[in-house]
Amino acid sequence: MACRDELLILCSWIFVGPKSREICCQVLEDIMERGYHLLVDNRGHRYVYEKLKHRGLVRRRRLVHIEEKKTRWALVAHKENIYSLIRTLQKIADHPTPWYYS
């Protein structure tokens, strides 16, 4: 059974600039501070993963597939719009409802 506050993030996006990367890390850190458990898949952006790991926010790293649906939340983030991604992460943190974004 998945933890109530387990958040699955399929980090298969690419950030072009350091500012975008840092903003995303800050948002993810805020989400983790609310008690969420972050899973980052093996295709994730290395910079984001390493930064979150350094801050003690990533507890495990594994390859996951959205079809598994082992957690209540799943996020598929795309490279087109970093601010859309940030808004989505904030919605996940603020609204504890099972839903999927792609």
Pick from 5-9, 19-23, 24-28: least confident:
5-9
Q: Report pLDDT for 56.
A: 58
State whether CATH 3.40.50 applies to domain 6-101.
Answer: yes
DSSP string, the chain: ---TTEEEEE------SHHHHHHHHHHHHHHHHTTPEEEE-TTS-HHHHHHHHHTT-EEEE----GGG--SSEEEE--SS-HHHHHHHHHHHHH----EEE-
- What's the pLDDT tens digit per position in 70-89? 444 444 444 445 566 666 66
Q: Report pLDDT for 26.
A: 73
Q: Report pLDDT for 92.
A: 61
Domain boundaries, the chain: 6-101
Q: Report pLDDT for 7.
A: 52
More confident: 62 or 47: 47
